[in-house]
C-alpha cells in the first residue's frame, strides 16, 4: 500500500476550531452552556475548540444553529472544513503500530510551516537515508521486536520525508551536535550515502543544517533531542515534541511556558553552531 502523504486534517480542524471559538464568543455563551445545550460533556467542547478532535457535520449544523449562524455560504464553508478535518491521512493506517503521541506529532508536522530540530546523538528522521534509519531502528529496538514492526517504523520515517519534497515545503532548520556526524562516520556501511544526503539537503533553499562543534562546550551533548513546530495561523500555539527511547512527549497549548523555553533554548544552541556555510563545507569535506 502506498504511503504517499495526503493533506493533514489538522489544518482544516484548526481553522474550524478558530471559527467555532469566535462564533461562541459572538453569542456570549460559555463552554459549560454549550455542553449543556448540546448534551455533550464539557471535555468534548474543550477538545473540539482545542482542535484535538473533529466534529461530525450533523453535530456541527446543530451547533451552528445554537450559535445563530444561518448564513448559507458561511454554514457551507464550515461544514466543508468539518468534512476535510475527518479525511483519512496516510499515517492513519499505522495506528496501534507506532505510538499515538508519535502519530499526533506527524499530524502537527504536516501542518507546520517552520520546523526546528535539535539532536545531540542521532540524525532527525527527516534527514535520514532509509539505510541509516533501518540501522538505527534495528539497534534501538528492544530484544524480540518483530521484523515487520521495524520495517513499518522505517516506512513511516521515509514517508514523513516527502514533506520536504512537496511544492510548498516548510522551512526546516536542523541543529546537530558534532557527535551526530561522527557517529555517522563510524557507521562505515552507511556513512558515505548519509553524508552525501545531508550535503544535498543543506543546499536546498528551505533546509538549513548547522553543526555545533565539540569545542562549543556548554550545551553540547547534554540536552534531550527536541523538535519545535510553528504554524501559519497566529492563533495556533507552537508545539514541541520530545522523542524518547521508551516514551514520546508532546507539549502544546497547556504547556505554553515550556514550549517558549524550548524555542529560546533552540536559538541559544544555534548561536554556538558553525553556521550554515561552514557546516556545508565541513560535510562536503567528509564526503571527499
Residue range(s) occupied by CATH 3.30.870 in the chain: 91-287
Asked if 120 and 221 touch (Cβ cutoff 8 Å), the reply is yes
**Where are the extended beta strands (E) located within the chain?**
114-119, 171-177, 207-212, 226-230, 239-243, 248-251
Asked if 275 and 210 touch (Cβ cutoff 8 Å), the reply is yes
Q: Which CATH superfamily groups domain 10-85? A: lambda repressor-like DNA-binding domains (1.10.260.40)
Residue range(s) occupied by CATH 1.10.260.40 in the chain: 10-85
Query: What CATH number labels 91-287?
Result: 3.30.870
Return the pLDDT at 132: 94
Could you tell me the pTM of the whole model?
Answer: 0.79
Q: What is the pLDDT along the chain (288 residues), one digit of tens a residue?
A: 333 444 567 778 878 988 999 999 999 999 999 999 999 999 999 989 887 788 999 999 999 999 999 999 999 999 998 988 887 777 777 777 777 778 888 888 988 999 999 999 999 999 999 999 999 999 888 899 999 989 999 999 999 999 999 999 999 999 999 999 998 877 777 888 999 999 999 999 999 999 999 988 766 555 789 999 998 877 778 999 987 666 678 887 667 788 999 999 999 999 999 999 999 999 999 987
DSSP-assigned letters across all residues of 22-70: HHHHHHT--HHHHHHHHT--HHHHHHHHHTSS---HHHHHHHHHHTT--
Grid coordinates representing 243?
Answer: 522523542
Amino acid at each position: 500500500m502506498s504511503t504517499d502523504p495526503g493533506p493533514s486534517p489538522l489544518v482544516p480542524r484548526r481553522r474550524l476550531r478558530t471559527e467555532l471559538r469566535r462564533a461562541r464568543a459572538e453569542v456570549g455563551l460559555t463552554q459549560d452552556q454549550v455542553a449543556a445545550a448540546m448534551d455533550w460533556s464539557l471535555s468534548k467542547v474543550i477538545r473540539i475548540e482545542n482542535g484535538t478532535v473533529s466534529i461530525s457535520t450533523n453535530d456541527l449544523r446543530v451547533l451552528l444553529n445554537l450559535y445563530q449562524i444561518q448564513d448559507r455560504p458561511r454554514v457551507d464553508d464550515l461544514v466543508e472544513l468539518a468534512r476535510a478535518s475527518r479525511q483519512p491521512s496516510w499515517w492513519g493506517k499505522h495506528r496501534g503500530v507506532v505510538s499515538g503521541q508519535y502519530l499526533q506529532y506527524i499530524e502537527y508536522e504536516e501542518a507546520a510551516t517552520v520546523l526546528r530540530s535539535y539532536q545531540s546523538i542521532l540524525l532527525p528522521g527527516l534527514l535520514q537515508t532509509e539505510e541509516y534509519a533501518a540501522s538505527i531502528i534495528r539497534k534501538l529496538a528492544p530484544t524480540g521486536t518483530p521484523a515487520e514492526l521495524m520495517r513499518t517504523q522505517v516506512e513511516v520515517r521515509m514517508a514523513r520525508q516527502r514533506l520536504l519534497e512537496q511544492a510548498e515545503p516548510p522551512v526546516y532548520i536542523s541543529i546537530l551536535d558534532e557527535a551526530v556526524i561522527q557517529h555517522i562516520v563510524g557507521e562505515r556501511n552507511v556513512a558515505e550515502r548519509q553524508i552525501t544526503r545531508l550535503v544535498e539537503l543543506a543546499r536546498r533553499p528551505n533546509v538549513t543544517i548547522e553543526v555545533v562543534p565539540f569545542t562549543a562546550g556548554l550545551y553540547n551533548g547534554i540536552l534531550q533531542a527536541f523538535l519545535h513546530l510553528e504554524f501559519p495561523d497566529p492563533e495556533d500555539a507552537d508545539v514541541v515534541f520530545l522523542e524518547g527511547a521508551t516514551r514520546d512527549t508532546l507539549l502544546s497549548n497547556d504547556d505554553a511556558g515550556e514550549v517558549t523555553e524550548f524555542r529560546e533554548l533552540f536559538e541559544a544552541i544555534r548561536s554556538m553552531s558553525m553556521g550554515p556555510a561552514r557546516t556545508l563545507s565541513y560535510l562536503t569535506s567528509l564526503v571527499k
